[in-house]
């Protein structure tokens, strides 16, 4: 298979067809949200699901970081790339690996949030969903001494310490007070897929249905490192649906790509939008 790599190739692949976008962290970097795996990624040691679910001290650490990081994360806005997808000719929907909710904020619909949403929390006992913003005010009420949790000399948060899942680096958490589920007193977890956890089955089904209903799969800003995203590329390739991949740097799906652009998503989507 010959891989084509120009904007013209992308335009001719997508033009006049129904297509679906599969997006990753690369589409949100222009909104100030760093990429775990991109070239300028901060050192990252994400908490595993079992660590969170099984240990109270780990949950204190998680929520201390999350409470501080939320203040910056909550301010992120959709960028021109997110906006260029809204109403793009032929676009049937967006499947995203991001948890930032920026596609919805831009106005895209439908959006399958494969890995959940950072602006929601879920109770591990009763399954009730609630707003992260509400939890934030509860946490701040329980922990008014917010600056005491930041590393020395770092009372002001900056984007360098903001991490992709919306938390921040803290060096104290043993006395952080976490808030239980208001319905049942159970353990609250952000409604995002942790490492060691699977995406919700119905979301995966929705994503497959969207891919199967379209003529072209366009990957935007993902290195497809985890199977969670890569499986859709493999599925499309198996079923004869052409795949375009736009990403800075190599991806695990490159051998399945019909069109492959080593480029930023914002500039590419703006150019594509003008040509469709
Ligand atoms: Zn509950």
Which CATH number fits the domain that encloses residue 75?
Answer: 3.40.50.1220
- Which residues neighbour ligand 1 (ion) by CB within 5 Å? 123, 125-126, 128, 181, 183-184, 186
The domain in which residue 265 lies consists of 7-275
14 is a domain residue = yes
Three-class DSSP labels, the chain: CCCECCHHHHHHHHCCCCEEEEECHHHCHHHCCCCCCCCCCCCCCCCEHHHHHHCHHHHHHHHHHHHHHHHHHCCCCCCHHHHHHCCCCCEEEEEECCCCCHHHHHCCCCEEECCEEEEEEEECCCCCEEEHHHHHHHHHHHCCCHHHHCCCCCCCCCHHHCCCCCCCCCCCCCCCCCCCCCCCCCCEEEEECCECCCCCHHHHHHHHHHHHCCCEEEEECCCCCCHHHHHHHHHHHHCCCCEEEECCCCCCCHHHCCEEECCCHHHHHHHHHHHC
In the prediction, which pLDDT does 271 show?
96
In the prediction, which pLDDT does 36 show?
60
In the prediction, which pLDDT does 196 show?
86
In the prediction, which pLDDT does 168 show?
58
1 is a domain residue = no
- Looking at the DSSP bridge assignments, the partners of residue 192 are 116
26 is a domain residue = yes
In the prediction, which pLDDT does 262 show?
96
Distance 178 CA to ligand 1 centre (A): 14
Distance 179 CA to ligand 1 centre (A): 11
In the prediction, which pLDDT does 159 show?
40
- For the annotated catalytic residues, the residue numbers are 115
2 is a domain residue = no
Q: Residues 110, 113, 119, CA angle at the centre, nearest 5°?
A: 110
Number of domains the chain contains: 1
In the prediction, which pLDDT does 263 show?
95
Predicted structure pTM score: 0.86
Distance 186 CA to ligand 1 centre (A): 5
In the prediction, which pLDDT does 46 show?
75
In the prediction, which pLDDT does 230 show?
96
Report the alpha-carbon distance of residue 85 to residue 167 in Å, rounded.
27
Q: What is the pLDDT along the chain (276 residues), one digit of tens a residue?
A: 556 889 999 999 999 999 999 999 999 999 988 766 554 444 556 788 999 999 999 999 889 888 887 876 667 899 999 999 999 999 999 999 999 999 999 999 999 999 999 899 999 999 999 999 999 999 999 998 766 666 554 444 444 344 555 555 666 677 899 999 999 999 999 999 988 888 999 999 999 999 999 999 999 999 998 888 999 999 999 999 999 999 999 999 999 999 999 999 999 999 999 999
In the prediction, which pLDDT does 253 show?
97
Report the alpha-carbon distance of residue 149 to residue 152 in Å, rounded.
9
Distance 4 CA to ligand 1 centre (A): 51
In the prediction, which pLDDT does 158 show?
47
Alpha carbons within 13 angstroms on the beta-carbon side of residue 63 total 28
Distance 128 CA to ligand 1 centre (A): 6
103 is a domain residue = yes
In the prediction, which pLDDT does 163 show?
54
Distance 122 CA to ligand 1 centre (A): 8
């Amino acid at each position: 298979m010959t891989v084509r790599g120009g904007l013209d190739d992308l335009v001719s692949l997508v033009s006049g067809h129904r297509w679906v976008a599969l997006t990753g962290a690369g589409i949100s970097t222009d909104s100030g949200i760093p990429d775990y795996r991109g070239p300028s990624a901060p050192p990252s040691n994400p908490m595993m699901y079992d660590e969170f679910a099984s240990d109270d001290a780990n949950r204190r650490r998680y929520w201390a970081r999350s409470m501080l990081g939320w203040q910056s994360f909550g301010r992120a806005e959709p960028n021109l790339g997110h906006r260029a997808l809204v109403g793009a000719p032929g676009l049937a929907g967006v499947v995203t690996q991001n948890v930032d909710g920026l596609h919805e904020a831009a106005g895209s619909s439908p959006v399958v949030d494969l890995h959940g949403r950072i602006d929601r929390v879920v109770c591990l006992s009763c399954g009730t969903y609630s707003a992260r913003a509400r939890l934030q005010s509860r946490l701040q009420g329980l922990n008014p001494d917010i600056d005491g949790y930041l590393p020395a000399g770092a009372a002001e948060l900056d984007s360098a310490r903001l991490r992709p899942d919306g938390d921040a680096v803290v060096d104290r958490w043993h006395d952080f007070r976490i808030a239980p589920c208001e319905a049942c007193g159970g353990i609250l977890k952000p409604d995002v897929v942790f490492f060691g956890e699977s995406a919700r089955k119905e979301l995966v089904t929705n994503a497959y249905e969207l891919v199967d209903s379209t003529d072209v799969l366009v990957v935007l800003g993902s290195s497809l490192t985890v199977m969670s995203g890569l499986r859709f590329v493999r599925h499309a390739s198996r079923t004869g649906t052409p795949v375009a991949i736009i990403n800075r740097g190599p991806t695990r799906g490159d051998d399945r790509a019909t069109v492959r652009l080593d480029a930023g998503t914002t500039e590419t989507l703006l150019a594509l939008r003008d040509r469709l």
